[in-house]
Amino acid sequence: MQSAELKQFVIDKVEDIKAKDIVVLDVQQKSNITDYMVICTGTSNTHISAIAQHVISEAKQAGMLPLGVEGRDGSEWVLVDLGDVILHVMLEQAREHYQLEKLWTEV
């Protein structure tokens, strides 16, 4: 799957499970580890975990194994690394605190 297709796949899957405030950052010119970052908000730790798990399960069904997953256990931020796309699922407070959108648009 090409990186643009993978990006849309991830967006579709987080939308399936009602993630909020989905933002896509094209970091191809700023990073050599990934092409896109998808950032979204979950309403609770349980919702964050469910969003990440849904993306992981759907990716596996499509024949893609995540390269890594961080923060699964009750965290306010879960990262799913799919290679060309990295998904960040965060509680609103964590998202405001870390301001990934600002960090990656100012690089």
What CATH number is given to the structural domain containing 36? 3.30.460.10
> For residues 93 and 97, what is the distance between their CA atoms, to the nearest angstrom?
6
Per-residue pLDDT at 74: 72
Among the ranges given (4-8, 63-67, 69-73), the one the predictor scored with the smallest mean pLDDT: 69-73
Domain coverage including residue 21: 3-105
Q: 30 pLDDT band (50/70/90 cuts)?
A: confident
Q: 106 pLDDT band (50/70/90 cuts)?
A: low
Output the six-digit token pair for 83: 């290679």
Q: Tokens 């290679």 belong to which residue?
A: 83
The domain total for the chain is 1
- Residue 88 pairs with which residues in a beta bridge? 39, 79
Rounded percentage of the chain residues whose pLDDT exceeds 90: 78
Segment 46-59 mean pLDDT: 95
